[in-house]
Structure formats: C-alpha cells, structure tokens
Structure 1
Amino acid sequence: MTPPRLAGIDIARGLALIGMFIAHAAPYPDPDAEWIVDGRSSLLFATLAGVSLGLMSGSAEPTAGRGRMRQTVVLRALLLILLGLVLWIVPTDIAIILDYYGVMFLLLVPLLFLPRRVLAIVAVTLFVIAPLLADAAQPIVDSATTPALVVVPVEWLLTGYYPALVWLPVLILGLIAARSDLRRVGTQLLVLLGGIGGMLVGYGAAAVVLGVDASAHSATHAEILGSGGFAFTVIGALLLLTGPALGAIGRGIRFALAPVGAMGSMPLTIYAGQILVIASFFIAAGRPFVVYDSWALVAWLIIGSALFALLWRRFVGPGPLEWVMRQLTSPPSLATDRTPTTTT
C-alpha cells in the first residue's frame, strides 16, 4: 500500500516555487538588493531533491529493487538535464536550475543506499572541500582559452549558479532525513533544530567575522550553512505544523495551504510553466528580457499556478510533466509499488 504524501514536503516545495517566482519576476528597489528568497528558494528546492529521492526509494525502509531504482534516478537525471538545456534557450535571462538539478541527481545515485553514518561523512567532507575547489576552478572558467566542453561541466559542478558539488551536502542531509523517517515527530524536531543551528552559525559568522560571505549564490561555507539551515528550518517547521500530532490545527493548516501544496506536488510542471509564462509576458509587452519588475506578474504566476495545480490534481492526478517523467523512467514493477510517494 502506498503511504500518503507528506503534506509538509509538498508545501515546502510549493513555497520554494513561489520564492523563485519572486526572484525571477519581482522588481528590485536597488540593483544590489537581495530578497530573502534569493538563493534560499533554489537551495530549498535542491534540498527537497535529496528528501524526495529518499522518500521515493523507500524512506526509512529502502526499497528492495535498488538496481531498478538507481536506473530510474539516472534516467530522470538525464531528462532533467535535457529539459534544463532546452529551457536555457527560452529568452528570459533566468538562470535555469533543472540541468544542475539533474547533475545533482546523478551525483546522488552512488550514495542513494549508503548507511546514514557514511552519508554524513561524505556530506561533511564535501562541505569542507567543495567551496575550496570552486574557488580553485574559477580561473579555469574565466580563461578565454578554456574550451566549452570543459567550462560547462566545471560550471555544473563547482562554479555555476547552482554548483552541484557545493550544494550536494544539503541534498545528502535531506536524504539522511528521509532515511530517518520524516513521519516521526522526533525526526521533524531534529530537522527543525538542526536547520536553526545552521542558520545561526552561517549567518552569524557572516555578521561578525570580517570577510565571511553568506550572500545568495556565493558558494561559501557560510552560505551553505545559512541557506541550507534555512531550508531545513522550513522543512522541519512545515512537517511539524501539518502533521497529525497537532490534530485539528494541523488539518486546518493543511487545508489553508492546500493550493501551495498542490503546486509542490508537481514542481517540474510549475517550474517549466513559469519560464514559458515569463517569456510570453515580456514578448507580448515588448519589454527587454532582462527587466523583471512586475509584482502583477508575480501575483498572476502564484494565482495561476495554484489554480492549475489544484484543478489538475483534483481531476487528473499527477502533473503533466511528472506523469511523462514517470512513464519514461519507471519500470512497470516500480510503477505499481510503494515508492512514488513524491516525484520530481
């Protein structure tokens, strides 16, 4: 029997999508300003990838069909990379995350069924080393003589907008959280408290130590601690607030945030859709693609996405791109088992 979806995870993913809408389409009062959603929404989105893969592969009781599950994840990763590269062609001047997301999936494949202690060691090691490697690799990307076949993989892994190796520790921690049974209140509390601790250390260091940078997309240790901590704080809080332990209060919160949760249940569809909508909006308005200054567009993206997701989920089921992804990547034996509780 397939366990019910975790409402808190869907809502967290929906909030990450809304954060991206704001980052992509809201007006900035100052060119140097940084919204709270900048960097944090995309890192929350990526953190939830680790959680989703953990849930998809059996949560606290990993699925027996491990080879088939790895095959599914590899195929989904390749399709995400392909879709991401296609969306880069759409004239929006938005930094697309999906191809980076696919690279993160590929990097998680060999780690997917490792014990939690081993995963923790890998996460800590990458956290220490990856930002240093990113700094060392930047001159390679900046060099005019470096061929594109070298630049693109290095950007995917280390120096790009969403550097996979630098961000991988938070995905691994998301996988560890899923392996620890996110339905347990104790696990939810640990996720929340760990997230708060990460924020205090990361943002605290940036506030008091000269030269420490925790700004969005800085790919520093402080950013990963601070923004990664923010992601786990949101996830832990939502799991607690929407869980059965709160009874009627939890049900009320789930009902109130159902439109956000519906968006989060089909993140691939909503993400790709907003890219196309933003492109169409500026084409129709005759505006330059580098100017995103419309709160009205943000509002329409949120309202339209929520209505579409609610109606589609109610009358059809999984999001259209999620359905296509599942059909193309899941063997028949996986399509009917208990693993697809969340999709990406």
Structure 2
Amino acid sequence: MRRASPTRTGSGPRGAEETAPAGRSAGSGASGGRLAGIDAVRGLAVLGMFAVHVGPGPVPEGAGYLLVAADGRAPALFTLLAGFSLVLAQRGPDPARRPQGWARRWRPLLIRCTLLAVLGVWLASLWPGILVILAFFAVYFLAAEPFTRLSTPVLTAVAAVSVVAGPLLSFLLGPVFGYGASGRGLVPEAADLASWSGLGTVLLELLLTGAYPLATYFPYVLAGMALARLCDVRERSVARRMAVWGTVAAFAGYGSAWLASHVFGARQRLLEAIAVHHPEALSAADPVREVLQGQYGAVPSTSWDWLLVADPYSQTPLETLGNAGVGCALIGLCALAARHGVGARLLRPLTVLGAMALSAYVVHALVLAGPAHGAASWSAWLAFSGAALALTWAWQLVWADSPLRRGPVEHVLRLATSGRGRA
C-alpha cells in the first residue's frame, strides 16, 4: 500500500566522493582549500537537513528564521553540490580526459547507482518519517554522465535552459499521467517493486512525480556542473565573484517571485485556483504552502501561476534560480574562508561532517526510523547536530591513516566501485 506524503521532506547526501579527506584538505593550499570549502558547504546542508527533519516548524520569527532558511534549500544544495562534485571528480575540465570504453565509463557508475538505489529504497521502507532521496540521486548520476562530455559553453546553455524546461515539463506532463492536482511527492519503496505496475509507478516517481524527480531536480545537477566548469574557486577573485553573483541570482529568483505574487496578483489567482482544485487547503494558515506540501518536487498543474512562486519545494524556475544562487554564494564564501588558516580551522567541523555526509544521512535516517521517530524540537536539532559533528570528528581522528577516514558508507561504495587495490 502506498502511504500519503508526509509533512516532512528528506534531503540529499554527499554527491560524489571527489574530495580529499577533510582532515587533510583544510588549509593545505589552494587546491585543498577549494575542497575543504565545498565539504564545508555540504556540512552546512547536513545541518539544514537536520533542521527540516527534526526541528520545529519553520516560523518566520526569531530563531525560526534559521529554519525558514533551511526549508527547501537543503536538498537543492545537496543536488547542486552533486553536480559540482561530478566535474571535480574528472580531475580537469576537459571531457576528453574521461576514461574511454564502456567498462571503464559505466561499470563503476552502474554499481554505485545500484547501491544507492537499493539503500534508498530500503531506508524509505523503514518509514523513518522523511522522504529519502538516495534512489533519486542514483538517477541523477546516470543521467548526468553524458552531459559530462559536453563542452563548457554547451553545458552552460543546457543548464540554463533546464531551469525553465524541467519545471515546465512537470507542469505540462502531470495531468497526462493523472497527477494534475494531487498524488505527487512520494518516494520509491520496496513494496512497489513487487509488480510490473509498481515498477511503472516507481519509474514515474523517479522521473516526474516523486519527491525529488529528475524533471525538477536535475537542473541543479546541471547548474552545479556548469559552475564547476566555469569557476575555478582556487582563485580568490573567482570565489569572490561566485559569492557576489550567487547573491544576485538568489535575489533575482526570490525577488521576482515576490513581485509576481504580491504586485502582479499571482497569489490571488492561485487562491482562486485552490478554491476550485484544492478546497481542503483553504482552511490552512497558508493555502499555497499547504498545497505545495503535498506536491514535493512537482509543480501543481492547476494554474500557470504556480510557475511564478518560489516557496520551498515548489521547484519552479524562480525557486530553482534562487536556490542555485544561494548554493553558488555559499561555495564562494566557504572557498574564500578555507584559503586562510583561521577560516579553515573555523570551518573544520563542517568540513569533516560534509566529507562524511552520506554516512551521516544513513545514520540519521536509521535513528529517525527508531528511537527518534517523530522528533520535532530545537533540542532534537541540537542533539542531532552535536552528535553528527562530534562523531564524524572522532571517526576521522580514529581512522586518520585508513581509507575508512572517508566514512563507513563512503568506503563501502568506493570498494564496490573501485576495488581494494585502486586509489
């Protein structure tokens, strides 16, 4: 039986194991600073994910603004970093340097994606109270491989087009498959794989109607890939420009949505559409947010004005632009901070956590499926955050001279895809 979409959402783990161990990269020169800065951003995304999963509701007042800032941006940031990481893993911007031949190109990727998908389906079946993203990440990585061979100008153009084309496909194709007003926002579970019809449902969720479908989240991957090609954050000036232009993009995305909603009447037209297609949401404090909470990752197809909002998880062009801008700015800022000894030391706990984000994700999902099921408070967020920072730090100290320093789950993936004898 399919369960209804929960009111909380999942976030993503570390994208690809491209970085050096956090404990050895921070402050170790330009290249190390670049990698430490990226892991630090990923560590921030982990803390944001905890805030969404176990923190109180995002109320825009006082400390609640921290939760508002994390709401909807954590999975977007993870996915953007996944694309960024894929390009860094190439060890150079030239696509011609990638391994040739089917076996060298696809076999490790297929193994990694299969393991991620199996792990994601298993965690989702435990009912941890979150929408597990790992199976979707497997699809992102498979879809991204052909794009890694595009030239930088073509990749950049494709990424820009996808920001609009992906949400538009979600809007237009939803009604074609019977999801015009409801039924979206689920994740694949083990029970879905027991029949052919269930397999078809899983495929549709992964591509179009799920919580993090390819249609609306893959633009983040492409944007991250384009950023990594265009911006070598080893250069201080480039990192500074990323911080500035990322901020501009964020204001452009969120600001345009605010103007459309409050100046040009889009919100009023949405309320009228909600009265017709989602009458049950009218009693909520924010009917627009109430509808979007049941449509994670998909754009509702009941009004064209849905494409003009930028609320969390709306996955419209404007929200995608705003979220990508936030990610770009954070990468630039953390790369700048990681270039200096003091900044690298301050970022070190986040860098270590970000380097082991996949392990942290799996462990936190298991805890939510058991002793912490239903947790939703500031104390729960502090407990999860403190435990994650302390345990990942201790793990890196204990396994400092071992391949296990990357994290237990990361190490298993690396062994499965590269073999014990490969670096």
Q: TM-score range by the shorter chain?
A: 0.7 to 0.9
AA aligned to 1:261 is T
CA, structure 1 residues 194+154, in 2 after alignment: closer, same or farther (shift >3 Å)?
farther
- Number of positions where the alignment pairs a residue of Structure 1 with one of Structure 2: 319
User: 1:161-172 to 2 correspondence within 5 Å?
Assistant: 161-172=211-222
Change (3 A) 1:281 1:132: same
Which sections of structure 1, spanning at least 5 residues, go unmatched? Answer: 244-249, 283-288, 337-344
Q: Would you say 1:322 and 2:416 are equivalent positions?
A: no
What displacement does 1:157 show? 2.0
Is the 2:59–2:68 contact (alpha carbons within 8 Å) kept by the matching residues of 1? Answer: no
What letter corresponds to residue 223 of structure 1 in structure 2?
E
Q: 1:312 to 1:61 in 2, by over 3 A?
A: farther
Amino acid across the alignment from 1:279: A
Structure 2 counterpart of 1:258? 348
Q: 1:49 to 1:273 in 2, by over 3 A?
A: same
Secondary structure (helix, strand or coil) at the match of 2:366 reads helix
Residue in structure 2 matched with residue 65 of structure 1 by the alignment: 99
TM-score after normalising by structure 2 = 0.70
Which residue does 1:285 correspond to in 2?
A: none
Match of 2:77 in 1: 44
Aligned-residue sequence identity (percent) comes to: 32
The SS at the match of 1:299 is helix
Does the CA contact (< 8 Å) of 1:74 and 1:105 recur in 2?
Answer: no
2:205 paired residue among 152, 155, 160: 155
Structure of higher RCO (CA pairs closer than 8 Å, 6+ residues apart): 1
Contact 2:128 2:368 in 1 (8 A): yes
- Whole-angstrom distance in 2 between the partners of 1:37 and 1:230: 11
Which residue identity does 1:271 align to in structure 2? Y
Q: List runs of 5+ in structure 2 lacking aligned partners.
A: 1-19, 21-30, 184-195, 267-307, 400-404
2:57 aligned residue? 28
Deviation track 1:95-141 (CA, whole Å, cap 9, x = no partner) reads: 11111111111110111122111111221222221111101232325
Residues 217, 6 of structure 1: alpha-carbon distance in 2 compared, 3 angstrom cutoff: same
Larger radius of gyration: 2
Contact kept in structure 1, 2:250 and 2:322, CA below 8 Å: yes
Aligned residue among 207, 213, 217 for 2:309: 213
| Structure 1 contact 43–227 (Cα < 8 Å) conserved | yes
- Name the residue aligned to 2:5: none
**Residue of structure 2 equivalent to 1:192:** 243
Q: Is the 8 A contact 2:128 2:370 kept in 1?
A: no
CA distance in 2, matches of 1:82, 1:106: 15
- Residue identity matched to 2:89: M
Deviations 1:43-74 (A, max 9, x none): 00111101111111213355442542443233
> TM-score under structure 1 normalisation?
0.85
- Please report how far the alpha carbon of residue 196 of structure 1 lies from its aligned counterpart in structure 2 after TM superposition: 1.4
The one-letter amino acid paired with 1:196 is T
Q: Which residue of 389, 397, 402 corresponds with 1:306?
A: 389
